[in-house]
Amino acid sequence: MAVRVFIVGVGLISPLGAGFAPNRAALEQGRTGIAPLSLFATPHRAPLPVGEVRDLPRDDGLPRTHVLAGLAAAEALRGARQQPDAVVLGAVTGGMPVTEVLLKDGVGDPRRYRHHANGSVAEYVAGEIGCTGTVLTVSTACSSGTAALKLALEMLRSGRSACALAGGVDALCRMTYYGFNALQLVDPEGARPLDRSRRGMTVAEGAALLLLVACEEPPDHALAELLGAGLSCDAYHPAAPRPDGSGACRAMRDALSDAGVAPSGIDYVHLHGTGTIDNDLAEARALHDLFGERMPHLSSTKGATGHALGAAGALGAAISVMSIGAGLIPASSGCRVPDPEMNLHPVAAPLTAKVDTVLSNAFGFGGNNAALVMGRPGQLPPRREVRRREDNFTILGSACLTGAGNASATLERLREGKPVRGLMPPESMAANLPPRDLRRLKRLSRAVQSLAIAAHGDAAAPAAIASVFFGTGWGPLSEMHDFLVKLFESNEQFTSPTDFVGAVHNAAAGQVAIRFGAQGPNVTMTGGDYSFEQALMGAVLLPPDSGACCLLIAADEDHQVLSRRFDPSAALSDAPSDGGAAFCLGRGRTGRGPRLFPAFLRYAHGDPHAVHAMVEALGGKAAIEARYGAVFAGIPLAQREIGRRQLDGFLLLAGFTGGVVDYRRWTGEYAAASAVAACCAARFVAEGSVPILPGRSSAGPLHGKGILLVGLGDFVTAVGVLP
């Protein structure tokens, strides 16, 4: 029987209300939740209309993002018959509502920034619900929530999860409020999607989480079935959509193909429909390409809720579930006279109709397009059986940047037994970049571009790049800092739109896609010290088609002001460090290079059984001994005590007697250190031996075996590099 994925719970918090039922009532009545901002003062002008969640419970020190996510999770799990073994969350702002206030006040205590990380929201939810399984954080701008649902869908189909909580969340903050206004993308009268007089979007906040279960037949409590999803990238511009809508159309076609549904089978399209001139027009062109003359009912609800950024696609999914269950097609709020150039006829008032199948869209900065197809439970026959794909990739090319320089300089220094800690030399980051990029890109984006070019060039026969997977613990700190400094120095009057676009976590991955013309999935994962491992998991869940390649990149920059406040390990380190690595990967066994694969990933905070579970997942003592000649252990400095205990437990349970390398002692302390360790491990596996490394007393041959990278601390992870 085919594995099918059903939605059995929904948690929904939006400006229309706190809960699924209040939101349904508001949409049935055609009400709007948009009103002038009251959350913080705007010193130089009247507050613009926003989608603000009113009367949100306060928790001292806990950002609004976390509070919203916690409320949505509680509702989604109310009455649940099964607890989630995975959490997959899309987010953009993370802890910014608190962080920006602390920075404005000059607070330097790192403990006050403990909720800043984007990944901290998913970890908070996992902790609240007691989930110690796979926890992933997706940050693909305004498509984050939908991309999270696609990843969760593939986890369930492949048997990696039996029950997952997935969706998106974002909160209003100065960064997004002033950032979109600086781009002149905000409508001062409130969003009017598809209207001929529209002038822009309305920034909003909210959370929507869906409880998903894998079954062969519909459970009796199923609300809807998640039939399929598609992801694509425009590879066109950092902030503007491809004008012809071809990227958006590709995501919708892929979602329909994945679901086994023809365009004629769609009853309703929940549009992305932001109200910006270019986005609405591009989406309209995509719809005409897809549906032709037979256009289904369609509407955008962002005139009622505003645009909740990383939560927007998840809100659309929740509203789609509502449409199927209640036969409700919401009005396209704010659209009074449809733009004749679009030749669309959005639903003008709430409509009651039988809805069996819904297509829901979400598009974001970096050209990230995502679409979902949902249906009435059991309405359609089971799709073809989905078999678990190969977990491994062949490394066709690789590159790294460290305090020593590029990969050659890094390996040379390591073979001398010297550490490669320190800051990436500017000349190493600039080596592969044209002057134009050096002028317009800041530190992290330069590093990522340089790594991608070097890894692709290192491949013996460079192939077309279909997709990009990027992991970053902290994102572009330089752009974020510069944006906020300009904002605060002008008393919240002026700031840089360029820095705002560059400050989103997925900006660098979008730039890589543009460079290589990569129009497949473009996914950024941001899980702190385990972002590389999460990005690798994303690549396995969404592999390129046979014959195509993907780029896997992880990098983080050191920032003299922010790193010591955000990263507790960097705060404890005696020397600032940063770096990253990139891999050009072919699906399965496609060449002679070493293989790379994720073997284990678990949120282990408070879980005493995580290490034992990892040993079991690796096949036990015999399998570990047979496959691996060395272990590279990654223990973040701030988690060294628990990490050492976990490592001792692993070595005891696995009976491992080979060489053990504590690699952060020579990489330095930064989130992407595991990617650098993986790049070095791949080179050593290809050579067949490990040299004397800092912190290791002896060198030795691998005897045809591989290297196992284990990550320890709040997460327990394992990544295999095999010959």
Catalytically active residues, by annotation: 142, 272, 307
Q: CB-based contacts of 447: which residues, under 8 Å, 6+ apart?
A: 401, 424, 429, 555, 557, 578, 579, 580
Distance CA 633, CA 417 (A): 17
* Residue whose tokens read 């659209």: 335
Q: Residue 190: CB partners within 8 Å, gap ≥ 6?
A: 32, 34, 49, 202, 303, 334
- Residue 96 main-chain phi, psi, to 5 deg: -55, -35
Residue 298 pairs with which residues in a beta bridge?
269
Q: SS3 of 375, please?
A: strand
Q: What is the secondary structure of 105-126 as a DSSP string?
A: TT---GGGGTT-STHHHHHHHH
* Pair of tokens at residue 296: 């289904």
Asked whether 367 and 510 are in contact (CB, 8 A), the reply is yes
Distance, CA of 314 to CA of 144 (rounded, Å): 8
Helix (H) or strand (E) holding 400: strand 393-401
- Give residue for tokens 């909210």: 206
Beta bridge partners of 470: 524, 553
The rounded distance, in Å, linking the Cα atoms of 495 and 175 is: 10
Give which of 289, 310, 117, 335 is closest to 209, Cα–Cα. 310
The number of residues making up the chain comes to: 723
Two structure tokens written together for 429: 């980051």
Confirm if 659 and 631 have CB atoms less than 8 A apart.
yes
Determine the residue type at 383: R
Q: What CA–CA distances, in Å, run from 303 to 51, 195, 196, 240, 678?
A: 9, 10, 14, 21, 47
Containing 710, the helix (H) or strand (E) segment is strand 706-711
Angle formed at CA 27 by CA 23 and CA 32, multiple of 5 degrees: 90
Ranges of beta strands (E only) in 406-528 are 465-471, 522-525
Q: Which residues pair with 270 in a beta bridge?
A: 299, 360
CA distance 115 to 263: 43
Q: Hey, how many other C-beta atoms are within 10 angstroms of the C-beta on 616?
A: 12
Alpha helix stretches (DSSP H) within 475-576: 477-489, 497-503, 507-516, 531-541, 563-566, 568-572
Looking at 158-236, list the stretches that DSSP marks H as alpha helix, in order from N- to C-terminal side: 174-182
What CA–CA distance (Å, rounded) separates 427 from 442? 13
End-to-end CA distance of the chain: 35
Any idea which residue has 């809805």 for tokens?
Answer: 355
Residue type, 423: L
Burial class (CB in 10 A: 0-12, 13-18, 19+), 219: middle
